Chains A and B, each alone.
Chain A
Amino acid sequence: MPYNIAMVSDFFFPQPGGVESHIYQLSTKLIDRGHKIIIITHAYKGRTGVRYLTNGLKVYHVPFLVIYRESTFPTVFSFFPIFRNIVLREEIEIVHGHASLSSFCHEAILHARTMGLRTVFTDHSLFGFADAGSILTNKLLKFTLSDVDHVICVSHTCKENTVLRASLDPLMVSVIPNAVVAENFAPLGYHKTGSNGALGVYPGAISPPPPRPLGPNDIITIVVISRLFYNKGTDLLIAAIPRILAGDPNVRFIIAGSGPKAIDLEQMLERRVLQDKVELLGPVRHEEVRDVMVRGHIYLHPSLTEAFGTVIVEAASCGLYVVCTRVGGIPEVLPQHMTKFAKPEEDDIVAETGKAIASLRANKVRTERFHDQVKMMYSWTNVAERTERVYDGITGALSEEDFYGDNSGNSWSATRGRAGVQSFALIDRLKRYYGCGVWAGKLFCLCVIIDYLILKFLEVWAPRADIDIAKSWPKKQTHVIRVEDEEADEPGPLKSTSVRSFRDYALRRDKRP
């Protein structure tokens, strides 16, 4: 059963990033499955109005005040009129918000519930409970998620975190990991024939590329691609690099990325005179990441906190042996034979990297197989399927027992209505918000009531009948879809710029009266 879905987030292209590509990939895969997707984000510099991306993915760039790192200013109500207009125009049934730092997403979920729509929220990040910023964000999250139909988290650790932060029923939270477009992260010399085999047709017929045996004196290159921030563990990296290099003379580093810690890194290199062993590439674009990765043998990821860590999956897909810190959701992401886990300590990182180098030199790790294995583990098609199941569950297409399991009689699932879906009645919603806290509960209730009144006012001021229904992008013929499916995952939007801009241009010309 196809749905009309609106993805709402502050973060979307042209800004690069994990959340952005998640939204884009998920949307295109859901479109392939027959749903209608629109994306609502704020206007970026040079990106305003309505845009179409590949596959008829429609993006609304709503003009809004941006305050900090592309997050919009949290005004609780001012987004409502235009949001209602878009939702009615596009006949949206499900509103899917992304990223807990996006106030756009929070507002959209609140208004969508007021308008009687189903809502889903995807959390991409981990937050602590101690500092002031986290406390504020957590309260805001609690407000929004008091009345949401379902929450999706990218890892089990992220689920635990979100359940604690927003006081959710754990059954309301699904874990659907990120994925990678494995075709974009193929190792060097990888033959396309392997990709057909990986679809599961003839598993025995795969011919993996010939393994590259490493002698004891061959150069081993360690790749690091990360923004150089404190929480990405750059300090650990700076401390570990000289010791790793001192431990083995035939090791080189390639470091890509920029950030406030870049100066520290450069200073260390100058002090130690390591410029000939460590190559700094500066910031690289996402589509260049693969070309950097395939130059190395080991990927080092010293992050201090990570909800999922897409980059280590990408690295493994490129056939790199991964050395990473055991933090956040990282231990869940890759199997043991692809990774070496270290504690977030300088000594341990040096030791584990040394072990990784040793086992690569001993040819104990079959890195040439990683690509096919990763391809079987993570795919956006799978993510889209699982997300679709969530949509089925919250709209009631899936029975409550199927969706929530058998133990619905337990006391801790009382937040759901009897039908397995959340009731839209204002009084029920108020009950949910009221429990948020002594003062916060009352404040939230006030906000919800005002939101409801605004809706009533808008119904009079801009009646539904006056809003035109937008035409959907023409659905493809069935045979076309089959061809699409057989093709590999589509390249990212940045790669298909020429095609897209041509389409954009053609479309705009069509729309002109």
Chain B
Amino acid sequence: MNRYAVPAEPISIQDVHTSPPLVPSKPFADSSRLAPGNAFFPPPPPRLHAEAETIARTVSEAPTAGSSSYDRRRKRDKDRGRSGSRRGKGEWKKLLWVKQPKYPDNYTDPPTFLSHLQRNPRLQPYDFWPLVADSTVIVQHLASVTIFVCCFVGINREQFSPVSMVSLGSAGTILGWVLWDFWVGQSEAAKMTSRSAITNALDLRNEEPDYRSNRKPDLDHSRPASRSGETSGLGLTLVPSDPAHKHHYQSTDHLFMSPISSELSSASSTTNPQPVASFSTSMSPSPGYQSPTNILSQRNQQRLTTMKSAVLIYCVLHGLSPILKSLTKSTSPDSIWALSTILMCINILFFDYGGGVGVKFPASLSTNAALMSSTVLASRLPSTTHVFSLTLFSIEVFGLFPVFRRHLRHVSWRGHLVLTLFLVLGAGGVSGITLSKNGGWQAMILGMLFWSVGAALGMGGCSWWLIGLQRYKNVVVGPWDPARPVIRGGGWE
């Protein structure tokens, strides 16, 4: 038996054998602790004050919350497995290797049983106004879908002229593009200055030729991101705003092409996709390690390619419109309405509401569903001009507008709110006009009123509802859950 008296482990089997028996006579009196009974009795009704307490604590501890919970957790982790040795002799130990004949196998130790169980460990109580603010994204998308559908109805009923609609849309798109181009330029300039600052500070210039020499042109679309990550992984964390810059940076060459080229390829799937491919490869000279003097010509080159692809889309659509017009001639209108409704629902459900500016292909399912829906709808229209206008409009609304919205939200919150307001009013106005019989301005005002009130009520009500539902959240976490491995990520390169 002496063999067990190892300095690291003060308890020995002998101790357990000789100790007096402890009968678990004490019921689970401590109400703050989880008793075994909690496992099979229904949980107590949700306590509002507890929730408030949590919120208060989170607020008061906000700066240190992360570290303190980590400490607590670490302490608890340390206790595990060692709890036996800390407690007095003869007490039950939560260990398997100690034979404890004084305790039956089904003995349940009240202080330790389920002592590592946590409920809702990562609960983040929602606040009302941030929720409402976040829901504006959904409202924006709903409004733009409504505007599109109403425009279709208007064209179909010959209430609107398709040419005026598409000119309006195109004007808006060009305006948006100019703005977007401006923002990208700004962020790139900021990026360049910070980058040159780093480069000068750490004198990493001599590494640049290396990167250039082994860069493969066809891999470039994936390279810049990883390379910039690499650079920051070299210990260049002294720039606090680096991740944000990286986002912008990625967006410069990806966002630029992706909407247009993807739209083009999906819209013109019947034609040869070769020009698109050549476009995206011609885009490839990445601005990764260009010197600041080079950037202007680079940007101009990008602008040029955008123009080119815009013209290409325009021409291809023109060519395709007659085909599209006769696409669903043999299908009955009922199934067209049903199909396009379903596709629009898919678009709304799968839209990437949370995506930031750096998303490469935001929710391709959603975009493709919307474009297919608009194609099918367009094929119902009487003339080629109609078809062309509606398809172009749908590309603008579903392909390019979300990119702009995302960027606007990133750049200016005020602008985002204003845009939301405009969209809500616009959706209300257009739906008022299309729903009324003759479509006067009264109907428009009424529609705007309805939409504004509805949007406000919906945003407020849903947020309030979600906050109310949160009290039913009951996540149980304990040592049985698979641990999340923490890997520093250095193991691969």
Binding site for B on A (CB under 8 A): 126-130, 150, 152, 155-158, 160-161, 163-164, 167-177, 203, 231, 233, 235-236, 238-240, 242-243, 268, 271, 302, 304-305, 307-308, 325-337, 341, 343-347, 366, 369, 372-373, 376-378, 382, 386, 389-390, 403-407, 410-412
Contact = CB atoms under 8 A, between A and B. Distances in A.
Contact of B485 (A129, A268, A344): A344
Given A156-B96, A231-B482, A337-B6, A167 B476 contact: no
B3 A373 contact: yes
Nearest to B112: A156
B94 A332 contact: yes
B437 to A, nearest CB: 49
A167 B476 CA distance: 13
B113 A170 contact: yes
Given A157-B478, A163-B114, A341-B81, 20 more contacts: A150-B106, A160-B117, A160-B478, A160-B480, A164-B114, A168-B39, A239-B488, A326-B81, A332-B81, A335-B4, A336-B9, A336-B82, A343-B77, A345-B487, A346-B485, A389-B104, A389-B105, A407-B24, A407-B25, A412-B35
Contacts of A346: 485-488, 491
Contact of A406 (B3, B25, B117): B25
Contacts of A156: 94, 96
B40 interface: yes
Contacts of B483: 304-305, 325, 327, 344
Interface string B221-253: 000000000000000000000000000000000
A334 B96 CA distance: 8
A321 to B, nearest CB: 12
A-B interface, 5 closest residue pairs, ranked by CB to CB distance from nearest: A331-B81, A345-B486, A174-B105, A167-B40, A239-B491
Contacts of A130: 475, 481
Contacts of A378: 97
B9 A174 contact: no
A336 B13 CA distance: 14
Interface of B: 1, 3-4, 6, 8-9, 13, 23-25, 27, 35-37, 39-41, 77, 80-82, 85, 94-97, 99, 104-108, 113-114, 116-117, 475-476, 478-492
A96 to B, nearest CB: 15
Contacts of A410: 27
Given A344-B485, A345-B486, A332 B492 contact: no
Contact of B105 (A175, A329, A332, A333): A175
B490 A239 contact: yes
Interface of B is mostly: loop
A170 B475 contact: no
B474 to A, nearest CB: 9
B106 to A, nearest CB: 4
A177 B8 contact: no
A369 B479 contact: no
A271 B39 CA distance: 49
A195 to B, nearest CB: 15
A163 B36 contact: yes
Contact of A347 (B3, B36, B105, B488): B488
A336 to B, nearest CB: 5
9 contacts: A126-B481, A128-B480, A157-B478, A174-B105, A336-B82, A345-B485, A346-B491, A369-B3, A377-B99
B487 A235 contact: yes
Contacts of A335: 4, 6, 9, 95, 97
A390 B106 CA distance: 9
B80 A326 contact: yes
B386 to A, nearest CB: 47
B485 A304 contact: yes
Contacts of A308: 96
Contacts of A235: 485, 487
Contacts of B35: 412
A167 B40 CA distance: 4
Nearest to A313: B97
Contact of A337 (B8, B36, B480): B8
B24 A203 contact: no
Contacts of B9: 335-337
